[in-house]
Amino acid sequence: RDPRPCPGRFSGPPGTEDAPPHGRTLPTGVGRVRLSATPPVRSPSPARTGFTGRVLASTDGWTTCAQGHRHWGRAGAAGLLVHRDAADGPELLLQHRAWWSHHGGTWGTPGGALHAGESAADGALREVREELGLTAADLVLGVRSVDDHGGWSYTTVLARPVRPIEAADLRLDGESTGVAWVAVSDLAGVALHPGLAASLPRLRPLLAEAHR
């Protein structure tokens, strides 16, 4: 779940608000898309978070920031922006969000609510491991960008792969229906998660510096 800026409307289980119907088509212009029918990983515990089957952490839950937005994660949230060099400039590893998730059908970065006492880097690595199967050994962490809303923040941690990683090699959980390397120059034509789209003005200079 990417819990960045969202309106205060909510009914039903977390992650189902404004869920689009089945049959949404993928945006055009995105290469190397891998669709997956991988089912969610279920937990034996009865305390489940609706669709994904994950056990609720003590900091899971909705909170309202100083700007009046509702966010998932009472201790804040973090995500990992994996980027690599390519012939046409830097590319980002984006996931296609499952139809039932918040802003389902859009493209975003793996991320979610932080656990109690968890750093942004540790939380981002945990989320990318759960959602894409990547581990800390696969990545080199870089700079971070913090979107502070007052009383709640989302930290984007940039990371580079230490080895070639292709979308087809990744293991998806139930929160994604696909994953792709997307050129930064093509982002204008992609249906991005609103939180990622809003963060791009801050992220572009960091990416440009990383790929000099």
- pLDDT at position 40 is 32
- How far apart CA 118 and CA 120 sit, in angstroms, is 7
- How far apart CA 108 and CA 131 sit, in angstroms, is 12
Dump strand ranges (E) for the chain. Answer: 34-35, 62-64, 70-72, 77-84, 91-97, 107-108, 111-113, 139-148, 153-161, 176-183
What are the residues facing 48 on neighbouring strands? 55
Domain segments of the chain as ranges: 34-38+76-210
Q: Which CATH superfamily is domain 34-38+76-210 in?
A: Nucleoside Triphosphate Pyrophosphohydrolase (3.90.79.10)
- How far apart CA 153 and CA 200 sit, in angstroms, is 16
Q: Is the pTM of this model over 0.85?
A: no
**Helix, strand or coil, per DSSP, at residue 17:** coil
Residues in the chain: 212
- pLDDT at position 56 is 53
User: Per-residue confidence of the chain (212 residues) as pLDDT tens digits?
Assistant: 555 644 332 222 233 223 333 333 334 334 443 333 333 322 222 233 333 445 556 788 888 888 888 888 888 899 999 999 998 899 999 999 988 887 889 999 999 899 989 999 999 999 999 999 999 999 999 999 998 888 888 999 999 999 999 998 898 888 888 999 999 999 999 999 999 999 999 999 999 999 98
**Beta carbons of 134 and 165 less than 8 angstroms apart:** yes
- pLDDT at position 29 is 39
